[in-house]
Amino acid sequence: MVRNAKIFILEDDLSFATLLEVLLKERGYQVETCEDPELAFKKVFDFNPDLIITDLKLPKMNGIDFIEKVKPVLPNTLFLVITAYATVSSAVEAMKKGAVDYITKPLSSPEDFLSLVQNILAKKPKEDLKEETQEELPPLEILFLGMEEVYDKVVKVAPTDTTVILYGETGTGKSLIAKVIHRLSRRPGKFVEVNCAAIPETLIEAELFGYEKGAFTGALKSKPGKIELAKDGTLFLDEISEMNLTVQAKFLSVLQNRTFERLGSLTSIKTNARFITATNRDLIKLVKEGKFREDLFFRINVFPVEVKPLRERKQAILKIAEFIIHRLAKKLQRDPLPLSSHSKEFLLKYPFPGNVRELENLLERAFLMSEGKEIEVDLGYLQALPFSTEIKPLEKTSLLSEDVVDLRSLEKNAIIEALKKTKGNKKEAAKLLGISLRTLYYKLKEYDIKF
């Protein structure tokens, strides 16, 4: 028997689905069930099953259509069709679309069913069983809550090799969406991420293309670049608008010719990487200003996806907050607490200039500080920002007014004050601010701080 295999059941007959779930769990399988095929499509991506058992007759979408939709996204997943309407034609059609077998309900014998499942999984190569660990991503129904049109685009483009660009403000989750596209693409290579704004201008070229020993002062040994590391995977270039014009020209050549050279080398290296880019700026405006190459813009703007800011996803804020709280509770090994009514009101009215990233920070601090039976969220943490002593204490009533504190201005001022205090020493300024040097470089780019 193949233990630890993951099995997903799509069945709208809840009593029958429960029967299958009990039988399979008793044999040591990991099992998830769902009755709605549209919701199931999101859930199977998160669960990444070895076997999907689906009924042929379902609401909204039949089992064969479901197989057709899921198969390109999860090509290594096996399908078993189960139906009370068995005919030769339906069985043949199911097999053509990718099912490995089918059985009828009611079950003739639980043991026959379990033997069939065991035999199907035994044919699956061991290395294909989902025992490896992957970076945990939020469930798709949470990540794309209030952005259903973005989800539809992602599902369509993911299985292709098309270049994608994600437009959206800082903190909206563009990096997570890029990772979802990579996972859905089923590319064999890695997901490699580069934040162009977080790398000093003098180092971005070496970071992307790699270098040979002796290529420049300090190059004591050869090193592959991010493009080379991506290989047959995905290279995600976040904040591509911050890439200087020289590197833009070299990256354009990679997109056109699918080859590049390390610094200090004349040997061309081929790449089969898929490219996803992202920006929080208006690239067309930058093109007009001569700060971004027009030819590169057209190369990367093949499939644009607009990622909404959190303030435009009001209906999703409380559900996202609830998910974050449960994740925090697990991380901190504490029981999750509900949000107070005041906190809910605050979250729904606050504009979130920092988007989901700011929401996460707010909730983590509030959760850590909570002493009662509810979580109280406010902006009191601003008092702890370096050099913010001139900020007046915030009253709870003021948090719900239209005149909300501009967090970005506060952050920018704190960075400037830190640099003044350290006489421009960025390493010391980063320590003073409690952030990494890379994050400081990113912020200097974001706020256009020259120091």
**pLDDT digit string (tens) for the chain, length 451 residues:** 445 799 999 998 899 999 999 999 988 899 999 999 888 988 888 888 999 999 888 888 888 889 888 887 777 889 998 877 655 566 667 777 778 888 888 888 888 899 999 988 987 765 444 434 455 688 888 899 899 899 989 988 998 999 999 999 988 999 999 999 998 887 889 999 999 988 888 789 999 999 999 988 878 899 999 999 999 999 999 999 999 999 999 999 999 999 999 999 999 999 999 999 999 999 999 999 999 999 999 999 999 999 999 999 998 999 999 999 999 998 888 899 999 998 999 899 888 888 998 899 889 888 888 888 999 886 654 444 444 433 333 333 343 333 335 556 767 888 888 888 888 888 888 777 767 676 787 778 778 888 7
Q: Rounded to an integer, what distance in angstroms lies between the CA atom of residue 93 and that of residue 99? A: 9
pLDDT value of residue 253 = 97
**Domain limits for position 431:** 407-446
Bridge partners (DSSP) of residue 375 are 339
Q: How many domains does the chain have?
A: 4
What CATH number is associated with residue 177?
3.40.50.300
What CATH number is associated with residue 48?
3.40.50.2300
- Tell whether 203 is covered by a domain: yes
What CATH number is associated with residue 356?
1.10.8.60
Q: Kindly state whether residues 67 and 120 are assigned to the same domain.
A: yes
Q: Kindly state whether residues 328 and 255 are assigned to the same domain.
A: no
Q: What is the 3-state secondary structure (H, E, C) of the chain?
A: CCCCCEEEEECCCHHHHHHHHHHHHHCCCEEEEECCHHHHHHHHHHHCCCEEEEECCCCCCCHHHHHHHHCCCCCCCEEEEEECCCCHHHHHHHHHCCEEEEEECCCCCHHHHHHHHHHHHHCCCHHHCCCCCCCCCCCHHHHCCCCHHHHHHHHHHCCCCCCEEEECCCCCCHHHHHHHHHHHHCCCCCEEEEECCCCCCCCHHHHHHEECCCCCCCCCCCEECHHHHHCCCEEEEECHHHCCHHHHHHHHHHHHHCEECCECCCCCEECCCEEEEEECCCHHHHHHCCCCCHHHHHHHCCEEEECCCHHHCHHHHHHHHHHHHHHHHHHHCCCCCCECHHHHHHHHHCCCCCHHHHHHHHHHHHHHHCCCCCECCCCHHHHHCCCCCCCCCCCCHHHHCCCCCCHHHHHHHHHHHHHHHCCCCHHHHHHHHCCCHHHHHHHHHHCCCCC
Domain boundary among 287, 306, 325: 306
Q: Kindly state whether residues 12 and 99 are assigned to the same domain.
A: yes
pLDDT value of residue 62 = 85
Q: Kindly state whether residues 368 and 301 are assigned to the same domain.
A: no
pLDDT value of residue 434 = 65
Q: Which two tokens stand for residue 95?
A: 């097999």
- Tell whether 269 is covered by a domain: yes
Q: How far is CA 57 from the centre of its chain?
A: 33
The residues, ordered by sequence, that sit 6+ positions from 21 with a Cβ below 8 Å of its Cβ are: 9, 31, 33
Q: Kindly state whether residues 86 and 155 are assigned to the same domain.
A: no
- Tell whether 388 is covered by a domain: no
- Tell whether 199 is covered by a domain: yes
Question: Residue 106, preceding bond cis, omega within 30 degrees?
Answer: yes
Q: Kindly state whether residues 70 and 199 are assigned to the same domain.
A: no
- Tell whether 279 is covered by a domain: yes
- Tell whether 352 is covered by a domain: yes
Q: Kindly state whether residues 253 and 271 are assigned to the same domain.
A: yes
What CATH number is associated with residue 440?
1.10.10.60
- Tell whether 181 is covered by a domain: yes
Q: Which two tokens stand for residue 363?
A: 């909730």
Q: Kindly state whether residues 171 and 301 are assigned to the same domain.
A: yes
Domain boundary among 274, 306, 338: 306
pLDDT value of residue 275 = 98
Answer positive or negative: Cα dihedral of 402, 408, 413, 418: positive
pLDDT value of residue 420 = 87
**Contact yes or no for 260/227 (Cβ under 8 A):** yes
Domain boundary among 288, 306, 324: 306
pLDDT value of residue 391 = 33
The residues, ordered by sequence, that sit 6+ positions from 32 with a Cβ below 8 Å of its Cβ are: 6, 7, 8, 9, 43, 47, 49
Q: Kindly state whether residues 354 and 416 are assigned to the same domain.
A: no
pTM of the model: 0.68
- Tell whether 80 is covered by a domain: yes
Q: Kindly state whether residues 327 and 276 are assigned to the same domain.
A: no
Q: Kindly state whether residues 363 and 417 are assigned to the same domain.
A: no
Bridge partners (DSSP) of residue 34 are 10
Q: Kindly state whether residues 148 and 268 are assigned to the same domain.
A: yes
